[in-house]
Amino acid sequence: MVTSSVLGFPRIGAKRELKKATEGYWNGKVTAEELLQTGKDLRAHNWKLQKEAGVDSIASNDFSFYDQILDASYLFNVIPQRYRDSKLSPLDEYFAMGRGLQREGVDVPALEMVKWFDSNYHYVRPTFSNTTEFKVNGSKPVDQYLEAKELGIETRPVIIGPVSYLVLGKADKDSQELKPITLLPKLLPVYAEVLKSLVAAGAKTIQIDEPVLVLDLDEESKAAYKTAYEYLAKEVPEAKLILTTYFGDVRPNLDAIKDLPVAGFHFDFVRNPDQFDEVVAIIKDNQVLSAGVVSGRNIWKTDYAKAKEIIDKAVAKLGSDRVIVATSSSLLHTPVDLENETKLDPKIKDFFSFATQKVGEIVDITTGVNKPEDAKAAFEANAKSIEARKVSDVTNDKAVQDRVSKLTEADSKRKSAFADRLEAQKGLNLPLFPTTTIGSFPQTKEIRVQRNKFTKGEITEEEYNKFIEKEIQEVVKFQEEVGLDVLVHGEPERNDMVQYFGERFKGFAFTQNGWVQSYGSRYVRPPIIVGDISRPAPVSVKESKYAQSITSKPMKGMLTGPVTILRWSFPRDDVSQRTQALQLGLALRDEVNDLEAANVAVIQVDEPAIREGLPLRAGKERDEYVKWAPESFRIATSGVDDKTQIHSHFCYSDLDPEHIKALDADVVSIEFSKKDDNGYIENFSDYPNHIGLGLFDIHSPRVPPQSEFEKRVSDILAVYPKEKLWINPDCGLKTRKWEEVRAQLTNMVNAAKQFREKFTESA
C-alpha cells in the first residue's frame, strides 16, 4: 500500500500564538520558560492533528522560533564571533543573529536575510569565515523527535542537506576569498554526528532537504552531492535518508544525485509535473519515491483526480509499497486552518484548502489509491468543487480582459528618456544626497485600535478620517523636524502593503486568519486573487493629496507594484501570472495618473518581489518573465509627464541590475545595510538612473551611530557618483518604535548633511 507524508507544518499557530509569545519575550513580558512552553504546545498540537488525520510520515524539527536555516546555523556552530563576544544566553544569542540586539552594552547587527527561493519567506543566510569551526551545538533535532515520541507519535526528522546549507550561505566580509562549498569536508563529520544521534534515538527515516537542486548549480556544487552522501552512507549506514527537493525542476541536476546511496527521493510534481518520467527513472529497486502532489505553496483545492493520476503512474512503475503521497513542500507557506474563516462567501471558500485541509487531502488521495471505494465520496465532492470554480462568475470580467488585449508597446514607455525627465524634475529643488524613507512609519497600537474600531463600525468614517489626518500631520511634522528632503505620509491607514490595495481592487478575496510567516515574528495575510482585476475607485489619492497640502516639501505617493501584489497574494492557477500582472499594471496605472492629477509629483511604486518572481532556472520561462514583469511595472508608471518622478524599491533578494534597469524608474532604493560582500556596490556602479542604497536594517531595533552611516556612504561613493546617490533606510519603518526611528533617521540625515557640506565646500 502507498503511504502518506507531510513535509512540514506551519509553526505559527492558528491564532498566531508563536508571534505573541516571541514578541512578548523580546519585550520582557514573557519568560524564556513560557516561550519554550508555547513552542512545545504548538508542536504537540501539530503532530496530534496530523496523527489523528491518518498521516503516516509526520515531520519533526520543522518547528523554529525564528527560521529553520538559522536553526541549522546554530546547530552546526556557525555563529560569527561578534555574537559569541556579546556573552548572551543561548536563546538571546540565537535571536541576536536573526534580528540584531542593542542593549546593556551589547551592539550587534543581524545576519543578512534573503528570500527563500521564489517565495515570500525570508531565511537568515549562513555566514562562513576562515575561522568557522563546525561542531554540534545543542540537540534540537533529537529533542523534538523524542518529544513527539513521548506523545506516542513517530515522526520523520527534517534537516537541511549539507550541500544546500553551504550553497545558500555566503562568506563573511573578512573572508571574501572563501567559497562556502569548499567547507564541505569540515561540515560532513558534524552532519554524521547529528544523523547518528537521530538513529540512536530511534528515527526510522530522516528527511534531508536539498532544495538547491532546482537551481542552476556549478560543477563543484554538483560534484559535492556524491562526496556528501557517500560519506554519510559510509559513516552512518543505518540512517535512511529521503533526499528532498521542491519548488522546481530537478532534471538538469539529475546526474548529480541519480546514484546516491539514499533510501529514497522526494520530487515536487505540483510545480513541475513534466519531470515525472525522468526523475522516476533514477529510482533504484531499493529506493522509494515521495511524490509531491498537494501544493505546499498555494491555497487552491487539490484536484484529486489529477493527483491520483500521478500516484497511479508511480505505482505502475515502482509498486505501491515504494510510493509515498506527499505535499509538494512544507506547508509553512500556507495558512493554518480554513475552518477559522467564518466570513468568507461559502461559494468562494469551497475553492480553498489551507494547511489543515491539505493534511486531509493527502490522506484522501492515499485512501483513493489504496481503497478507492472508501474514498469515493471524497473524490466526488472534490470533483464537484473543482468544476464549480471553473464555471464561477467570480472569475471572469470581460471589460478587464478586453483592456488587456488592447495594450500596445507605447503603453509601457515613458514619454522621454531619463536625461530629459531629470531636467524636467529640477522643479523638485532637491539637494545633493537627497534623503527620504521607503514609505511606512511605525504602526502604533493606537493606529491598530482605531482601524479595528472603524472596521467593526464602532466609530464613524468621519471620525476615522480625522484620526488618520492627525496621524499624517504628526508624521509630516516629524519628518520636517528630522530634516528629510522627500517626505511620505506614513501609511497609517494601511494594514499591509498588498492587502490594502487588494481590498480596494476587484478580483480579490480576503481572510480573517490566513496568516503566513514572512520572517521571524512578521506574519502576513496574503490576499487571494480569485478573478480578473480592476480598480473601481481611487485608493490612495485622498491621503497623499492631504499630506502634500500640509508641507512645502515633495511628498511621495506610495503604491505597491503589480509584480509584488501578484507575488505576495495567492495567485490564480487557472490563468498565467503574466495576465494577472498586466491586469494589476492597468489598475495601478489609473491610480498613478490620479496621483499626478492631484499634484503629487513623486510617486513610488514598490517592487520588492521582482527578484522573488524570477523563475529559479535559466530557460524559456525565465526569459519570458524578464519581459513581462518589468512591462507590467512600466504599464503602471508610463502614463505620467516627464516632471513626475517615479521611484521604486527592492529588498531582501540577490538582485540583478539588468532587471532593475528594465523598469526605467527615475530613482530606485535597494536594501543594502547587510550586503557586506565585495562587489555588490559595483553591480550597480553603471546604473543609469538614480539610486539609494539602504543604510540601516529596519528589521532591527539597533540604532547605528552617525559614524557608521558615514562609513557606508564613503564606501558607496568610492564606486558610485555623488550626483546620483540618495540616502535612505533599507525598507519601510512600520515594525519599528518611534524612539528607534527618530534616532536612526537623525543619524542618517546628519550623515547626509556632512557629505553635502563636504562636497559643497570642495566645489
d(CA 475, CA 482): 11
d(CA 372, CA 67): 39
d(CA 407, CA 632): 11
Per the CB < 8 A criterion, the answer to whether 263 and 195 are in contact is no
Question: In this predicted model, what pLDDT tens digit does every residue of 433-473 receive, in sequence order?
Answer: 999 999 999 999 999 999 999 989 999 999 999 999 999 99
Asked whether the predicted pLDDT for residue 678 surpasses 70, the reply is: no
* Percent above pLDDT 90 for the chain: 90
Question: In this predicted model, what pLDDT tens digit does every residue of 486-527 receive, in sequence order?
Answer: 999 999 999 889 999 999 999 999 999 999 999 999 999 999
Per-residue cell: 706? 552617525
- Residue 463: CB atoms within 10 A of its CB come to 13
Cβ-in-10-Å burial (0-12, 13-18, 19+) of 686 comes to exposed
C-alpha distances (whole Å) from 107 to each of 586, 623, 673, 696, 701 are 46, 44, 15, 14, 10
Q: What rounded mean pLDDT belongs to the chain?
A: 95
What phi, psi does 572 have (nearest 5°)? -65, 150
Binding residues for L-methionine: 438-440, 491, 606
| Rounded average pLDDT over 347-365 | 97
Same fold, 3-390 and 419-675+682-762: yes
- Which helix or strand (DSSP H or E) is residue 254 part of? helix 254-257
Per the CB < 8 A criterion, the answer to whether 229 and 213 are in contact is no
Q: How confident is the model at residue 676 (pLDDT cuts 50, 70, 90)?
A: low
DSSP 169: -
Which residues, 6+ apart, have CB-to-CB distance to 20 below 8 Å? none
Question: In this predicted model, what pLDDT tens digit does every residue of 703-752 receive, in sequence order?
Answer: 999 999 999 999 999 988 999 999 999 999 998 999 999 999 999 999 99
DSSP 490: B
522-524 and 516-519 strand pairing: antiparallel
d(CA 396, CA 320): 41
Interior angle at CA 333, CA 206 and CA 343, nearest 5: 135
> What number does CATH give the domain 419-675+682-762?
3.20.20.210
Per the CB < 8 A criterion, the answer to whether 9 and 331 are in contact is yes
Asked whether the predicted pLDDT for residue 378 surpasses 70, the reply is: yes
Cβ-in-10-Å burial (0-12, 13-18, 19+) of 8 comes to buried
Q: How confident is the model at residue 89 (pLDDT cuts 50, 70, 90)?
A: very high
Per-residue cell: 307? 493527483
Largest interatomic CA distance in the chain: 85
Which is nearest to 478 in space by CA: 427, 442, 445? 442
If DSSP codes are grouped into helix, strand and coil, which group holds residue 610?
coil
Question: In this predicted model, what pLDDT tens digit does every residue of 122-134 receive, in sequence order?
Answer: 999 999 999 999 9
| Rounded average pLDDT over 287-298 | 98
**Paired residues of 241 in beta bridges:** 206
288-294 and 170-171 strand pairing: unpaired
- Which helix or strand (DSSP H or E) is residue 277 part of? helix 276-280
Question: In this predicted model, what pLDDT tens digit does every residue of 322-338 receive, in sequence order?
Answer: 999 999 999 999 999 99
d(CA 495, CA 629): 25
If DSSP codes are grouped into helix, strand and coil, which group holds residue 643?
coil
Per-residue cell: 570? 495567492
What's the pLDDT at 686?
80
Question: In this predicted model, what pLDDT tens digit does every residue of 622-672 receive, in sequence order?
Answer: 999 999 999 999 999 999 999 999 999 988 667 778 888 999 999 999 988
Binding residues for 5-methyltetrahydropteroyltri-L-glutamate: 19, 120, 568
What's the pLDDT at 684?
77
What's the pLDDT at 14?
95
- Residue 483: CB atoms within 10 A of its CB come to 14
122, 659, 690, 699: the active-site residue: 699
If DSSP codes are grouped into helix, strand and coil, which group holds residue 427?
helix
DSSP 273: G
Question: Is 647 designated active site?
Answer: no
| In 160-218, alpha helices (H) | 162-167, 184-201
pTM of structure: 0.90
DSSP one-letter string for 115-139: E-TTSS-EEE--EE-TT--------
Which is nearest to 67 in space by CA: 131, 110, 118? 110
What's the pLDDT at 98?
96
What phi, psi does 693 have (nearest 5°)? -95, 120
439 dihedral zone (left: phi>0; alpha: psi -120 to 50; beta): left
Interior angle at CA 66, CA 652 and CA 731, nearest 5: 30
Q: How do the domains of the chain map onto residue ranges?
A: 3-390, 419-675+682-762
Per the CB < 8 A criterion, the answer to whether 331 and 355 are in contact is yes
Between 152 and 680, the more confident residue is: 152
Binding residues for L-homocysteine: 438-440, 606
> What number does CATH give the domain 3-390?
3.20.20.210
139-153, 571-585, 600-614, 672-686: range with lowest mean pLDDT: 672-686
Per the CB < 8 A criterion, the answer to whether 333 and 119 are in contact is yes
Per-residue cell: 147? 518529544
- Cell 556573552 appears where? 87
What phi, psi does 569 have (nearest 5°)? -110, 170
What's the pLDDT at 396?
86
Asked whether the predicted pLDDT for residue 763 surpasses 60, the reply is: no
Binding residues: 19, 120, 438-440, 491, 568, 606, 649, 651, 671, 731
| Rounded average pLDDT over 295-300 | 97
Three-class SS string for 687-708?
CCCEEEECCCCCCCCCCCCHHH
Q: How confident is the model at residue 760 (pLDDT cuts 50, 70, 90)?
A: confident
Radius of gyration over every alpha carbon of the chain, rounded to an integer in angstroms: 26
| In 391-520, alpha helices (H) | 398-405, 418-424, 445-455, 461-482, 499-502
What's the pLDDT at 673?
85
Binding residues for Zn(2+): 649, 651, 671, 731
d(CA 676, CA 672): 8
